[in-house]
Structure 1
Amino acid sequence: MKRFIAFVFMLFLFQSCMKDDYPVGENVFYDDADGVFITNEGNFMYGNASLSYYSPEKKTIINDAFFTANGIPLGDVAQSMEIRNGLGYVVVNNSGKIYVIDIKTFKLVGKITGLTSPRYIYFMSDEKAYVTDLYAKAITIINPKTYTVTGKIDVNNNYSQFYQHPTEQMVIYNNWLFVSCWSYDDKVLVIDTNTDKVVKEITVGKQPNSIVIDKNNKVWVICDGGYKGSPYGYENPSLIKIDAKTFSIEKVFDMEKGENQPSKLTINGHRDTIYYLNNGVWQMPVNAQQLSANPLIPEKNPGKKDKLFYGLGINPKTSEVYITDAIDYLQNGILYRYLPSGKPVDSCKVGIIPGSFCFKDND
């Protein structure tokens, strides 16, 4: 009973890093300044995913923004979010849908259904976007204007032992869409966006979980290597650089096996520096010939409470570093904000298992 009361209380409580500028009530949100959305996954099968919104200028946080603005829960496992034409597309993985919201008021304006286990969305135009999927063995094509499914790209490799290909993150070069295949897989798929067909499978390390493209048109993939006892195998994690023009692997940076797996590869706005999580936040110029020797921001500090870094985002305008701490995966997590140098700026409470960031640019 106490847990239920606490849960209801948290649905209506706005937690501020310094002060709370937003009153509790119906339809009170309106923010046309720069901001940051945080998708809080929540616990699998609990339906307690949520959306937080952080104002860098005011240093304020709005938690449960979607619920408060719309009076309905976000759903089960908020995986990611992207913005297009003033609308935010929130991918809710285990609910099999994408909610579309006004990014100034957080009000619901539409939803996309008919999805199996959606993960990420990538916009090709106002009327075409791709949605990756963990279990569908297909990439779904949608029309963002009409909120409808318009097609599928079959990615099934007919390998029955593992559920391949589970598609994850996407980047594009010319008309080539590069897609990482994460769970029990070792491929990056190349899709011709003119024909919506798979034209190439690039074998990388085990479980490529995230992908970016740099200013030199090199595709970077981070592979977590699996885990000890995995039926798919366990190997050293790796960071891999692929030439987007030739589809060839240029360099493999091997990492040591550890208690955490490298993840959340991201890149700054200039696309000249990459970042990732691996027992801390690591930073690396795209022209570097070896991995950095020390993390930019360590996860563990002697004499201080250890953190559990889970989400990572780089502000494309300021290069400030945003990190989330999942703590124990049960209680509300923490958002940390740092300068590009790694100096802390702010921190505040967010939702349960805060996983990804979406930056709102008012320009």
Structure 2
Amino acid sequence: MKTYVLLFATILVLSSCRTEDPIPTDEDPQTPELPDDTDTALKGFYLINEGNMFMNKASLDYMDFETGEYKRERFKSANPSEVGGLGDVANDIGIYGSKMYIVVNASNKVEVLDVNTGVKLKQINVDNCRYITFYEGKAYLSTYLGTIGDPSAPLGQVNEIDTTSLSVIRKVDVGRQPEELVAYNNKIYVANSGGYSPPNYESTISVIDIPSFTETNRIEVAINLHRLKMDSEGDLYVSSRGDYFETPSKLFVVDTKTETVKKTFDLAVSNMVIHNDTAYIYSTEFNYFTGKNTISYDAIDTKTETILEDSFLAEGNDELIQIPYGIAINPDTEDIYITDAKDYVTPGDLYCFDKNGEYKWKVQTGDIPAKIQFVNQH
């Protein structure tokens, strides 16, 4: 949640000046030069575009490493009979086995697709769903419950989905407005935000025992938690968004053995990804006092738990991106992908940089390009 109030206000202000630029479709693909990406163990990647709240403009793009083509609107082209397309606000995407799961927040559903064809297999209806992860044949989905923006919304939940029957089989209550979650060592860790009722935010990570599917602990961290990633040593990196006023965003490291905070970084975090013991982090930190964003790009060595001196983007390349919104690292080439939401109401861009942060190419995406999920060859 980027605060629905802020996003809705942005839509109202900017929607009147929306430009009708030609948008590439699946029938009119873009073809960036991909000399390195074509020799890869990956087939390509999917990218979800959130689309604006209340505008039913979520969409799915696909980058084909075999042909070098970037194709838009893959959900619509693969499912032409689906009225309304993908839905309203595509918040997360995950691939497990032969299936792809797209969490469509405001449409209260998870779309399950065939990962190779994009054809819809089933729709799972879950109120106000947020993020998804997988563990030993099951999918785990965080959900706010309640109406969007309702300060009196009930406790959130984590739902367990059987990946064969594609049905919800167990539920457990957690904190209010739970966000990203990680499954590890027979436990699920989920970041609670409480974002619907500022300044009464949540400040804990819920710990769920998977066999009994009960909440066994709440790890006290900081207010308004959001991103949650795990490093190679089993430590959790969790971001606090602060209160957008006087309490700044920070990053915390949690030891899963002791279930306590072991390290604090005075580092703002909007999104992050961990690859080869490096956490790649960007921040678009908004402050209501100034009415402005402060944008930064940082990296952390997760082995030594130290901030690296230089940005992971080469000098000057940060100026190419207006509003960073998504990040991924190609596990084969170590190319860095960053999405640009631009003004939030017109088509965004996807930038590719090499492992040294040098610019390689960009393509146009849908509105608010959010998250990338790689597709393996087999």
TM-score range, shorter chain: 0.7 to 0.9
C-alpha root-mean-square deviation of aligned residues, in Å?
Answer: 2.6
Alignment-derived partner of residue 145 in structure 1: 164
Structure 1 residues 251 and 17, CA gap change in structure 2 (3 angstroms): same
Alignment-derived partner of residue 18 in structure 1: 32
Q: Distance in 2 between matches of 1:138 and 1:338?
A: 37
Of 282, 286, 293, the match for 2:298: 282
Alignment-derived partner of residue 39 in structure 1: 48
Of 70, 90, 110, the match for 1:61: 70
- Residue 273 (structure 2) pairs with residue 266 (structure 1): yes
Alignment-derived partner of residue 235 in structure 2: 218
Alignment-derived partner of residue 327 in structure 1: 342
* Aligned 8 A contact 1:11 1:67 in 2: no
* Aligned 8 A contact 2:180 2:227 in 1: yes
Of 308, 311, 324, the match for 1:309: 324
Tell me the amino acid that sits aligned with residue 210 of structure 1.
R
Structure 1 residues 203 and 176, CA gap change in structure 2 (3 angstroms): same
1:78-103 deviation per Cα after TM superposition (whole angstroms, max 9, x unaligned) = 11111111111111111111111112
Q: Distance in 2 between matches of 1:50 and 1:185?
A: 31
Alignment-derived partner of residue 60 in structure 2: 51
Structure 1 residues 265 and 190, CA gap change in structure 2 (3 angstroms): same
Alignment-derived partner of residue 13 in structure 2: none
Of 103, 118, 142, the match for 1:91: 103
* Aligned 8 A contact 1:223 1:263 in 2: no
The percent of aligned pairs where both chains have the same amino acid is: 28
Q: Distance in 2 between matches of 1:175 and 1:299?
A: 43
Alignment-derived partner of residue 368 in structure 2: 353
Structure 1 residues 4 and 187, CA gap change in structure 2 (3 angstroms): closer
Q: Distance in 1 between matches of 2:89 and 2:171?
A: 23
Alignment-derived partner of residue 252 in structure 1: 264
Alignment-derived partner of residue 296 in structure 1: 312
Q: Distance in 1 between matches of 2:252 and 2:374?
A: 26
| 1:123-142 superposed matches below 5 A | 123-126=134-137, 128-135=138-145, 137-142=156-161
Deviating more after overlay: 336-345 vs 5-14: 5-14
Aligned to 1:246, the other structure's residue is in SS state coil
**How far did residue 124 of structure 1 move?**
2.2
Deviating more after overlay: 4-13 vs 65-74: 4-13
Structure 1 residues 348 and 130, CA gap change in structure 2 (3 angstroms): same
Q: Distance in 1 between matches of 2:273 and 2:18?
A: 37
Structure 1 residues 281 and 50, CA gap change in structure 2 (3 angstroms): same
Gaps of 5+ in 2: 1-15, 34-40, 147-155, 196-200, 284-294
Q: Distance in 2 between matches of 1:316 and 1:212?
A: 16
TM (normalized to structure 2)?
0.80
1:194-232 deviation per Cα after TM superposition (whole angstroms, max 9, x unaligned) = 11111111111222211111111111112221212xxxx
1:29-67 deviation per Cα after TM superposition (whole angstroms, max 9, x unaligned) = xxx952111110000011010001112454321101101
Of 101, 118, 128, the match for 1:117: 128
* Aligned 8 A contact 2:48 2:369 in 1: yes
**How far did residue 141 of structure 1 move?**
1.8
Tell me the amino acid that sits aligned with residue 265 of structure 1.
M
